[in-house]
Homo-oligomer: A and B are copies of this chain.
Amino acid sequence: MYDIMKVELISVGTELLLGDIVNTNAQYLSRELANIGISVYHQSTVGDNFDRLIQCFDEALSRSDVVITTGGLGPTKDDITKEAACRYFGFTEELNDKVWEKIEERLKKYRKNNVVSENNKKQAMFPKEAQIIDNEYGTAPGAIYEKDGKKIIVMPGPPREMMPMFDNKIKPFLSKESDDVFVSRYVRFYGIGESNLETQLEDILDKQTNPTIALYAKSGEVLIRVTASGKDKEHCLKMIEKEIEKLKDRVGKYIYLIGDESISSSQSELEKVTAALLVEKKIKIATAESCTGGKVASMLIDYPGISDVFLEGLVTYSNEAKMRTLGVKEDTLKKHGAVSYETAVEMARGAAKYTGADIAVSTTGVAGPGGGTKEKPVGLVYIGVYFRGVEKAYEMTYSGTRNLVRDRAARDAINFVRELVK
């Protein structure tokens, strides 16, 4: 619908070709560029090789307007990205005194015992045609080189340097080239699978144009990104709001968060939302875990403010511990087994009684790979909850590895707590 700028990514680094590291930079940049309406048609990875990089520039700029590179800006002779870009455009590098001053300052500050090395000067070499981009988190600046309407943008390889440089400098630079703004919101679902959600929203997904709606499934939950483009942010937000209302009408009961933080889209927010709810409502919690073995406690404690309401976590993996600390009856364990509705309920109740908590959650199950029987197969987990005198347990069945079963059970336990206290 618009005349869209074409961008290609080139990742430079032999460590990528050897499979030593995963190329997360390519994913980050692709997603962020898609967010501002820029299409990436091609990603490539090359080693620290001058001729091959020049060839890549040639191929890429024959079909695209902009090439963004990551990596190869270090001080060693293996680092050749800047040099190749300058050779490609016919620019001549020279020492930039201002940049060198900054690099020296940085090196002196962070490497107290090291002398400033001469080869760092390589990172201060730029042609006069370059637009130099500050690096707030490292010595290697980035740069924008431009000739005859084609651009090469070079950025450092370490994600902690590259991401803020892109967000704060390159993204605004590229956004200026587009007339429209792009705004996204993220809707997070728990308790419904991706294909089920897709089926329930089929007509909405089929008709989407602007805003666009994209589904992502991650670690047991689904995320929907709603992106609108338009003349201004306010107008976009209104369009998004209308779309989100449709989602709420249709599948609202599975939504646990609506937010705009694009950066955290790869991580679940379920435990943060749940912990924040507990803190906000001053509901004191205790956990009693068997198969999840401390995961539920650990997920809650990842929230910094939790200390006000997290009373104690009890990892009672053995029957002795279940009896000793939680007061689970020997009779219950004998009659129903450790993995049972009854034991799960007694564990939750016992944790609440022992600690004085308002709410307690328990897990007991067969995480595998061994230990399964016909009646109680691997993957069977009971999640017990006790909330101010009311108690019950949920019978769940999971598939996958031991770690996956434990993870899903812990996340479901957290979600049951959230549903009870919200």
Give the interface of A toward B (CB within 8 A): 16-24, 26-34, 39-47, 49, 52, 59, 214, 216, 287, 289, 291-298, 300-302, 304, 306-307, 310-318, 320-321, 324-325, 355, 367-371, 402-403, 406
Copies assembled? 2
A295 to chain B, nearest CB (A): 5
30 contacts between A and B (CB under 8 A): A17-B40, A17-B41, A17-B43, A18-B31, A20-B31, A22-B24, A42-B44, A42-B45, A42-B46, A43-B44, A43-B45, A293-B301, A294-B294, A294-B297, A295-B298, A301-B315, A301-B317, A301-B406, A302-B402, A307-B317, A307-B318, A310-B317, A312-B316, A312-B318, A312-B320, A312-B324, A313-B313, A313-B315, A314-B314, A321-B355
A348 to chain B, nearest CB (A): 15
B22–A22 contact, CB under 8 A? yes
Q: Is chain A's interface secondary structure helix, strand, loop, or mixed overall?
A: mixed
Q: Which of B19, B214, B300 contacts A27, CB < 8 Å?
A: B19
- Contacts A301-B406, A302-B403 aside, 14 further interface pairs with beta carbons under 8 A come to A17-B40, A18-B40, A19-B32, A22-B27, A23-B26, A42-B44, A287-B315, A293-B298, A294-B294, A294-B297, A297-B315, A312-B321, A313-B314, A315-B315
Which residues from B are CB-within-8-Å of A18?
30-31, 34, 40, 214
B293–A313 contact, CB under 8 A? yes
Given the complex of chains A and B, what is the CA–CA distance between A96 and B321 in angstroms?
60
Which residues from B are CB-within-8-Å of A289?
294, 313
